[in-house]
Chains A and B, each alone.
Chain A
Amino acid sequence: MAAPSLDILKEDQIRINKYSYLNMQNHEVQRELKISEEKVNALQDALDELEIAMESEVRIMIGESFVLCSEETALSRLEKLRDAKKEELSNLRAQAEISQKEMSALKTYLYAKFGSSINLEED
């Protein structure tokens, strides 16, 4: 962050700190979003392949090993996992949206108050 003006109110310091924290948190959430999206896609692909393959017995990954089980067991397990991950993904997206809204409100306020004395961009 570049040079702010000389006398700062406590509330403004709190706002700056909040923006900084939201920024850090947003990076984390974006990272987790990406991982979650990939997981959902992988699970959906697995489900599609399973339907096409029409095997009676398949191996699915449990923990770190592959367990042989019937197609129905695999199907229901995968569907449950995929739905859980989808919900996780939409929660993450909601969280990202909330913090981004808050960040842009703070940004507007801080730029209005401090103008060019403050820099809130990513470098």
Chain B
Amino acid sequence: MSQTIPLSQPSSNPRKIPSVVFFEHVGELVAQYGADPLLKQLNELYSKYKFMEAQLQRSKQVLRAKLPDITNALEMVEYLQSTQEEVKVDFQLSDCVWTKAEIPQTPSVALWLGANVMLEYPHEEAIDLLRKNLGNAESALESTNEDLKFLKEQITTCEVNLSRVYNYTVISRQGK
């Protein structure tokens, strides 16, 4: 017979990640559920948390890579807005190929929005849009970091629970 041991509980985490139940006395838990089912379910819970942590780390990398792109675009648009004359640039045409360009005074810029769509905006609107995107990316990164912190706490508690149960079984076996 296998019963689900209440090892995790709903938490106040905004993304609804459950938190690990902390128990002060290992002995009672082992007596109630048995060491083997306990260890098995604790291990399962642990692997779930570790998997989620790896997922979040990956999405954090993606977000971190996006930030410099947005900041570069913002920098350039702000510079174009600030100059009163035409701008001469050297830009990258492709890998290892750079070329010169003269950018005349224009009231607008075109922003690549993704999905093969490019829209023209006046400078002010372009800067607003880019700043908004930057803000969104930064807050997404912040909430990912928050989740990673929460996960780290659960993982540590889980590890401690695992080793306590294991040690208890070792010591009780030695005592017999």
Contacts from A to B (Cβ < 8 Å)? 1-4, 6-10, 13, 16-17, 20-21, 24-25, 59, 62-68
Asked if A4 contacts B75 (CB within 8 A), the reply is no
Least CB distance from B103 to A in Å reads 9
**What are the residues of chain B within 8 A of A64 when measuring CB–CB?**
72, 91-92
Least CB distance from A55 to B in Å reads 14
In the complex formed, the residue of A with least CB distance to B98 is A66
What separation, in Å, do the CA atoms of A53 and B24 have in the docked complex?
Answer: 69
Least CB distance from A15 to B in Å reads 10
What separation, in Å, do the CA atoms of A62 and B78 have in the docked complex?
Answer: 10
In the complex formed, the residue of B with least CB distance to A2 is B163
Asked if A7 contacts B24 (CB within 8 A), the reply is yes
Contacts from B to A (Cβ < 8 Å)? 22, 24-27, 72-73, 75-76, 79, 87-92, 148-149, 152-153, 155-157, 159-160, 163-164, 166-168, 171
In the complex formed, the residue of A with least CB distance to B78 is A62
Contacts A7-B24, A20-B152: A1 and B91 contacting too (C-beta < 8 A)? no
Interface residue from A1, A7, A17, A59 paired with B90 (Cβ < 8 Å): A59
Interface residue from B25, B90, B167 paired with A66 (Cβ < 8 Å): B90
**What are the residues of chain B within 8 A of A8 when measuring CB–CB?**
24, 160, 164
Asked if B167 contacts A65 (CB within 8 A), the reply is no
Asked if B92 contacts A3 (CB within 8 A), the reply is no
